[in-house]
Chains A and B, each alone.
Chain A
Amino acid sequence: MTVSWSGSAPTEGPGANASRADEHIDGNALAGSLREVFAVDVTVASGRCVGCGRVDTVAGLVLYTQAPGLVARCPGCDGVVLRLVRGPDRAWLDLRGVTALEIPLRP
């Protein structure tokens, strides 16, 4: 069972929790919010950037949390790959920057 709630997205990465004035964290921190939407952990999926063709895991994207929502960018070209906004009773997921996601599943 995964404990979950409705509400906003994380605004700080895991990894212990001291925060600094750094601008971005890793896509790892998307795991909880994406888990609300998908049945599997999408942070272990890999996708190809529409902008530059680079393949990364979602966990390896560069995540900005200061926007109203979460914005994940390509570490190669800085293009927007994914945006996730959580409202009280719905989420908006924009996957504009990825051509396809390859998602590991149990055989």
Chain B
Amino acid sequence: MARLAAVRDETPTARTLVLDVPDWPGHLAGQHVDVRLTAADGYSTQRSFSIASAPSGDGQVELTVQRVAGGEVSPYLADVFAVDDPVELRGPVGGWFVWRPEDPSPVVLVAGGSGIVPLMAMIRTRAGVGSRVPFRLVYSVRAPEDVIYADELRRRTRDDRGLDVAYVYSRQTPEGWPRPPGRIGLATLAEHGWPPDFAPACFVCGPTAFVETAADILVAQGHEPRRIKTERFGPTGPVASGG
């Protein structure tokens, strides 16, 4: 059983939950937890959430939750769940979509929307262990205000040597942005990713359609499919509205 220790608003629709988890065994960057909520009448539902934080050793774990209108779990976690409230967690789980600091390969991270969350855990872990493995993040958002961790990414781009961040705005760009809004494309990943002969580890996370587009582009660029790890989030829960 975990307990909410603190909350941080990240964007108008996303917030970070800092959870106290007694006996937390530590985790790898990219792993997730399953969260279960049970209503007073016994109805219970479960969702997976990526861990946002680097392993810390202090028994705290951070999840960043994007509110989904009409959703079942995320509005509860984003709006109702209060400090000191308990929640059932299972995890950490998942050994596939993980970055291990001992892997020397350069890394390209491709995030769509709140798909940034597990990739941020990798960026934070890299900094936490003092790794010099070169990281490039391509982060696609609808509009500038949707950038989660905006200040931290700005700071890390300046301070974390070997970390580059490029943004793609699909609906609305910042003022003076040199390109019109648009979806992620081959040119963006060619310019801001790594060439295939560097044999980078590629991590792609976001909505299903975004992940498929980005993974197809990486394959078309010549990256080996087994070097491309994906995490789609998504669909609907037991009710059609999901989330």
Chain A interfacial positions (CB closer than 8 Å to B): 1-5, 7-29, 31-33, 35, 41, 43-44, 57-60, 65-66
Q: How many A-B residue pairs have CB under 8 A?
A: 199
A42 to chain B, nearest CB (A): 9
Chain B interfacial positions (CB closer than 8 Å to A): 21, 23, 25, 32-34, 36, 44-50, 63-68, 71, 73-74, 88-97, 113-118, 205-209, 229-238, 240, 242-243
Known: A17-B65, A18-B113, A43-B94. A12 touches B23 (CB 8 A): no
Residues of A within 8 A of B240 (CB): 21
Closest A residue to B63 by CB, please name it.
A17
Verify A32–B231 contact, CB threshold 8 A.
no
Verify A19–B233 contact, CB threshold 8 A.
yes
Interface SS of chain A: helix, strand, loop or mixed? loop
Contact partner of B233 (CB less than 8 A), chosen from A14, A35, A59, A60, is A14
A-B contact pairs, 17 of them (CB 8 A): A3-B90, A4-B90, A5-B88, A10-B34, A10-B47, A13-B48, A13-B231, A14-B50, A15-B232, A17-B47, A17-B114, A19-B74, A19-B233, A24-B208, A25-B232, A29-B48, A31-B32
Verify B208–A17 contact, CB threshold 8 A.
no
Residues of A within 8 A of B205 (CB): 15-16
Contact partner of B32 (CB less than 8 A), chosen from A1, A8, A14, A20, is A14
A97 to chain B, nearest CB (A): 19
Closest B residue to A63 by CB, please name it.
B232
Verify A16–B64 contact, CB threshold 8 A.
yes
B237 to chain A, nearest CB (A): 4
Verify B118–A32 contact, CB threshold 8 A.
no
